[in-house]
Amino acid sequence: MNELDTLFQNNEQWANAIKAEDPAFFEKLAKQQNPEYLWIGCADSRVPANEIVGLLPGELFVHRNIANCVVHTDLNCLSVIYYAVQVLKIKHIIVCGHYGCGGVNAALNNFQLGLADHWIRNIRDVYYTNRTEVDGVLDSKAKVDLLCELNVKQQVSNVCHIPVVQNAWAAGQPLAVHGWIYGIGDGRLKSIVDSIDSLDQIPEQYRVAGL
């Protein structure tokens, strides 16, 4: 037996269970997707986006990378956000971090991860900007968790500085950006940033030209 056979068996059971509940489910889904939410989360296997918020296929547009970063030169993430806002007209962008994030821990404790160091550098910048607050926490686990929260706040700001997001607001398109964090130890989500849904919440220095 192939060691991946279990995954195909699981898939068959999963598809059958959904079909038993709604016989036309996959047929309807094949025609179009109409999600209201874009999830930007960590690639960590313990933070599966759809399961956490109890949403079915078709209800959540998802982008995941190490430590849920939104980098203004990352064509991958920018393309996802562009498509979600401009084409799918999603109403909510959720940046969701998690406590105990390995990427955040690496940035804080100066671990070398090879190629990923370049990516982690984005979180080092968050640490450097907030070093007084972070270094004021003595407990090593609490320190990582604080930087996890600060990272979410920074990534929420980064989403709001993207032209397609600001252009949507200028055009009157309903769109809100949220910052959440997930506890791997208790399975609970928590909002840690006031939602942002208009241009006047964005500092002038980050406004897109002409807005």
Which residues are part of the catalytic machinery?
42, 44, 46, 98, 101
- The residues, any chain, with a CB within 8 Å of residue 199's CB and separated by 6 or more, are 166, 169, 170, 207, 211
Instruction: Give yes or no for residue 123 binding Zn ion (CB under 5 A).
Output: no
CA 127/CA 94 separation, integer angstroms: 22
Instruction: Give yes or no for residue 150 binding Zn ion (CB under 5 A).
Output: no
Phi first, then psi: what are they for 42, rounded to 5°? -80, 150
Instruction: Give yes or no for residue 101 binding Zn ion (CB under 5 A).
Output: yes
From the CB of 38, what's the least distance to Zn ion, in Å? 18
> Which of 81/148 has CB closer to Zn ion?
148
Stretch that binds Zn ion, among 22-30, 41-49, 50-58, 195-203 (CB under 5 A): 41-49
User: Out of 38, 40, 42, 175, which residue is the one contacting Zn ion (CB under 5 A)?
Assistant: 42
H or E segment to which residue 190 belongs: strand 189-196
> Which of 68/157 has CB closer to Zn ion?
68
Q: Nearest-CA neighbor of 99 among 133, 141, 157, 63?
A: 141
- The residues, any chain, with a CB within 8 Å of residue 50's CB and separated by 6 or more, are 56, 57, 59, 60, 62
User: Out of 35, 41, 44, 81, which residue is the one contacting Zn ion (CB under 5 A)?
Assistant: 44
Q: Which residues pair with 124 in a beta bridge?
A: none
> Which of 42/85 has CB closer to Zn ion?
42
Instruction: Give yes or no for residue 106 binding Zn ion (CB under 5 A).
Output: no
Stretch that binds Zn ion, among 6-14, 35-43, 57-65, 180-188 (CB under 5 A): 35-43
Burial of 70 (0-12, 13-18, 19+ CB in 10 A): buried
Stretch that binds Zn ion, among 57-65, 100-108, 151-159, 197-205 (CB under 5 A): 100-108
Question: Where on the chain is the footprint of Zn ion (CB under 5 A)?
Answer: 42, 44, 101
